[in-house]
Amino acid sequence: MTAYVIATMVIHDPQTYLQYTELTPPLVARHGGKFLTRGDKVDTYEGDTFTERMVLLEFPDRDKVYAWLKDPEYVAASEFRKAASVCRILIQEGASNTGDPDPKVG
């Protein structure tokens, strides 16, 4: 089942963060993932104004996400992200029935 990664971050060191963003595309691709968005503009329609950077990725399944996150090259690259930002990474599998989802499911 398709799995999505939603990452939001507040960047306090843009130069160091660039070292992370230069390394990640081939590592994502190696594990079958692709970027759906990568820091593109976010509009807040309702609620508190969203001011963080957001990245959305798609992977074939949850196992591929975790293989990417545990890949030694990604672990090394993520040190730049950790040094340059405060990040939240969420993983969610896509529902198998998106055409007519059960209205009783919360």
Residue 105 has pLDDT above 80, yes or no: no
| 105 lies in some domain | no
- pTM for the structure as a whole: 0.87
* 8-50 tens-digit pLDDT: 999 999 999 999 999 999 999 999 999 999 999 999 999 999 9
- Which CATH number is 12's domain given? 3.30.70.100
| 17 lies in some domain | yes
**How many domains are contained in the chain?**
1
| 102 lies in some domain | no
| 100 lies in some domain | no
Q: Which two tokens stand for residue 15?
A: 């130069």
| 55 lies in some domain | yes
| 40 lies in some domain | yes
Q: Is 98 helix (H, G, I), strand (E, B) or coil?
A: coil
| 106 lies in some domain | no
Residue 95 has pLDDT above 90, yes or no: no
Domain range for residue 57? 3-44+51-93
pLDDT at 70: 98
pLDDT at 52: 96
Residue 90 CB contacts under 8 Å (≥ 6 apart), including other chains: 5, 6, 7
